[in-house]
Amino acid sequence: MSPIPVGVAAFLAGKRFAVVGVSRQRSQPANAILRKLEGAGYEVAAVNPNASLVEGRAPSPDVRSVPGRLDGVVFAAPPSAALGVVRQCAERGVPHLWLHRSFGTGSVSAEAVQEAETRGIRCLVGGCPLMYCPPVDPFHRCFRWWLRLGGKVPG
C-alpha cells in the first residue's frame, strides 16, 4: 500500500470519533464509515438531528451533544450544514475534521474549510476514511488511486 498522507495518519491516530450524517438508511456513506471505523476498533458516535435510531443506537443530535472527548469528526451530510459542524468542533476542541466527498461537491463547503483553518482544526477535504482504514476494499483502493492520480488525495 502507498504511504498514508500525514493528515490522514494523524486523523486515524485518534481513538474516538463522531460521524455526522448517519442515516436510517444503512446504505448511506456515513453509515458505512461508522461501521468501518467501529470494525477497525475505534469508538464511534453517530450524529443525526432527525432520527431517533440509526445503526441500532440513538444518535446524538449534534456534535455538541456527543458525550466525552472526540479526536475527530467525519462529516458526510449536506454541505450547507458543514459550517455549523466546524463551529461545534471548535467549541469542543475537536482537532480533526474530515469532509467526505466521493464525486461532485459531496459534503465539502469552501466556507467550512476556511472556518476550520481559521479555528485551527486540521481539515481533510474529500475522499473518506474507508480509503485507508484496513482492510481497504477494492472500490476504495481504486478511488484512492484515482484521487492520487488527480492530485486530490486529502491529507
Alpha carbons 17 and 72: distance in angstroms, whole number: 5
| The pLDDT of residue 140 is above 90 | no
Q: What is the pLDDT of residue 150?
A: 82
In sequence order, the 6+-apart residues with CB closer than 8 A to the CB of 149 are none
Element (H, E) at 118: helix 110-118
How sure is the predictor about 2, in pLDDT bands with cuts at 50, 70 and 90? low
For helices 110-118 and 82-92, angle between their N-to-C axes, nearest 10 degrees: 20
Residue 7: how many other CB atoms lie within 10 Å: 17
Catalogue all structural domains in the chain, each as residue range(s) with its CATH number. Answer: 6-149 (3.40.50.720)
- Of 66, 13, 61, 74, the closest CA to residue 40 belongs to 13
Tens digits of per-residue pLDDT, 52-111? 999 999 999 999 999 999 999 999 999 999 999 999 999 999 999 999 987 777 889 999
Alpha carbons 57 and 138: distance in angstroms, whole number: 29
| The pLDDT of residue 47 is above 80 | yes
Alpha carbons 60 and 62: distance in angstroms, whole number: 6
CB 112 within 8 Å of CB 124 = no
